[in-house]
Amino acid sequence: MNSDSLIQAKSRFLEGIKFFNEEKYELAEKNFLESLDLAPQRLSVISNLIKVYIVTKQIQKLDEILNKHKNFNKDKEILFGEAYNFFFKESFDQSIKVCNQIVKNKDIRYPIQDLLASNFKKKGNFLEALKIYKKKLRENKNDYKIYYNIGCLLFELGKIHQANYHFIKSKNLNPTSADISWRQSLCALKLKDFKNGFLFYEDRWNRENHPNKKFENIKSPNNISEIKNKKILIWDEQGLGDTINFSRFVIDILKFTKKVTFVVDKKLKDILSDLDTEINVIDYENLNEINFDFQIALGSLPKLLNITTTNDIKFYKLSLPEKKISKKYIDNDKFNIGLAWSGNPNYPMDKYRSISFDKFDKLLQMKKFNFYKLSKTSKKSGPINPKSSSNIFDFGDKSLFEISKVIRELDLVISVDTSINHLAGILGINSFLLLNINNYWTWFNDNTNNHWYPSVKIIKQTKLNSWDDVFENLIVEVERLYKKKGQ
């Protein structure tokens, strides 16, 4: 390599380092690759490319660079990449094995300890993960990330008070972190501290992996008095279930203005079209008008409306548009039960909320009931095999609007925390919500009743990942409701 090439390689490398520190990862990658072309086999450049692919979670590129430079496979920089590569591929035991080979190296010990803890968390070994974080904390009590990671671990376990304590400690060390504020908001909301919860929740827009803020060309109101008699656009930002749940706050806005347009996912347009005669419910594809005085994200309505206690949460029963409702699959001589045992598998906490179908075996053996699968067919839920249960019918591939029509005809809905449960609730249908102990904040720490839907009763885990007591209670409750209807 001539001296000019070496000088250019070093220049590109330093530019890459600068861009990496500025979190401009595409530019960092470009400069590192140019440097590597000029100076092949430079371990320092390869190491920083590995860091780029880890931070940006470009698994294929990480895999390629590791395979290309196997001649360095005993170097700590390459092993560092291998440990993350196994982690991304969910080979947690392999990742732990590689981590243990290099964890004592002082140059990379800190991030490898975090990766070790993440591996143990993924394996459900929370105690080992906590031990690692506690050990790091003893070595450095001023690192906000350690408190944050402990808080996230405790939050995942459903230990909200302890999680909140660690988030506060983390925030004291890093007061400007939006990610910490957002985590604090979830804790506060779950503990029914609405004032702080909805205040901190506004920091969601500034998080590292923040949701997309729509309609930024239209201003947002700073207080409720600004929207009086103004033309308002309210837009959904959450999942289908949260949109159904929070639609009540759109109705509350009518106390201040009757000029309200509510734009939602097209799956919900027909369902919510009769939310209120004063509200124009529309989907994004058909939203042509942009002449609004203000726009408001649906999740920001509780703060704007000054929702401070559960008494401020109002219930408005939804009436579906009067269209013909097919009763082809509904046997009115039976007690008819809708089932939804799984949700979106991409939801980060889905492994805790979704339930294996075989847990319902005892219930399905009760032939005096007819069952209707309401959740969407996925790899987890799968289609129903008619030969396995003669009294269960698969509605999982129907549209959400068709499912809502079916729900209206059922005697009972049994669901995990998905849009199906919210549909049953807003329609006023008796429902049992099977809830994981580390549940989403909207169900607070309540164990039976809830503050959102009068017809929904919670049956909640008493132990993480254990559904046995939930199904014991469910059988009793279903029998009780069945006898009550027969009286």
Domain ranges of the chain: 3-206, 224-312, 335-486
pLDDT at 321: 81
Average pLDDT over residues 457-472: 95
pLDDT 10s digits, 352-366: 999 999 999 999 999
| CA 431/CA 339 separation, integer angstroms | 10
- Classify residue 392 as left (phi > 0), alpha (psi -120 to 50) or beta: beta
For residues 157-172, one letter each, b for 16 or more C-beta atoms within 10 angstroms of the residue's C-beta and e for the rest, the string is bbbbebbbbbbebbbe
Tokens representing residue 12 in the block = 């590109």
Tell me, letter by letter, the H, E, C secondary structure of 247-284.
Answer: HHHHHHHCCCCCCEEEEECHHHHHHHCCCCCCEEEEEH
| CA 340/CA 69 separation, integer angstroms | 48
Q: At what angle are helices 126-139 and 144-156 packed, to 10 degrees?
A: 160
Which is more confidently placed, 41 or 328?
41
pLDDT 10s digits, 312-325: 999 999 998 865 45
Q: How many helices and strands, by DSSP H and E, does the chain display?
A: 20, 10
pLDDT at 90 over 50: yes
Is-contact 59 88, C-beta < 8 A? yes
The CATH code for residues 3-206 is 1.25.40.10
Look at 4-13, 220-229, 267-276 and tell me which has the smallest mean pLDDT.
4-13
Strand order across the beta sheet in which 412-415 lies:
392-394, 369-373, 335-340, 412-415, 431-435, 456-460
Domain 224-312, architecture per CATH: 3-Layer(aba) Sandwich (3.40)
Residue 248: C-alpha distances to residues 253, 313, 314, 407, 417 (Å): 9, 8, 7, 20, 18
Strand order across the beta sheet in which 232-235 lies:
279-283, 260-264, 232-235, 294-297
Q: Strand 412-415 and strand 335-340: pairing?
A: parallel
pLDDT at 1 over 70: no
Round the average pLDDT of the chain to a whole number and report it: 92
For residues 369-407, one letter each, b for 16 or more C-beta atoms within 10 angstroms of the residue's C-beta and e for the rest, the string is bbbbbbbbeeebbeebeeeebebbbbbbeeebbebbbbb
Average pLDDT over residues 387-408: 86
Q: Strand 431-435 and strand 456-460: pairing?
A: parallel
The CATH code for residues 335-486 is 3.40.50.2000
pLDDT at 107: 87
The domains spanning 3-206 and 224-312 adopt the same CATH topology: no
Shortest CA distance to 439 belongs to which of 420, 413, 461, 457? 461
pLDDT at 380: 52
Residue 245: C-alpha distances to residues 196, 268, 278, 317, 458 (Å): 20, 12, 19, 11, 16
Average pLDDT over residues 182-201: 97
- How many Cβ atoms from other residues are within 10 Å of residue 174's Cβ? 14
Q: Where are the alpha helices (DSSP H) in 89-235?
A: 92-102, 109-122, 126-139, 144-156, 160-173, 178-190, 194-201
Average pLDDT over residues 52-59: 95
Q: At what angle are helices 144-156 and 178-190 packed, to 10 degrees?
A: 30
Shortest CA distance to 377 belongs to which of 339, 411, 404? 339
Q: Is 138 helix (H, G, I), strand (E, B) or coil?
A: helix
**Most confident stretch, 7-11, 297-301, 398-402:** 297-301
Q: pTM of the full predicted structure?
A: 0.89
Sign of CA dihedral 326, 331, 337, 342: negative
Supply angle C-alpha 234, 235, 238, rounded to 5. Answer: 135
Half-sphere exposure (Cβ direction) of 430: Cα atoms closer than 13 Å:
14
pLDDT at 462: 94
Average pLDDT over residues 115-119: 97
Q: 252 phi and psi, to 5 degrees?
A: -60, -30
| CA 89/CA 396 separation, integer angstroms | 30
pLDDT 10s digits, 240-266: 999 999 999 999 999 999 999 999 999
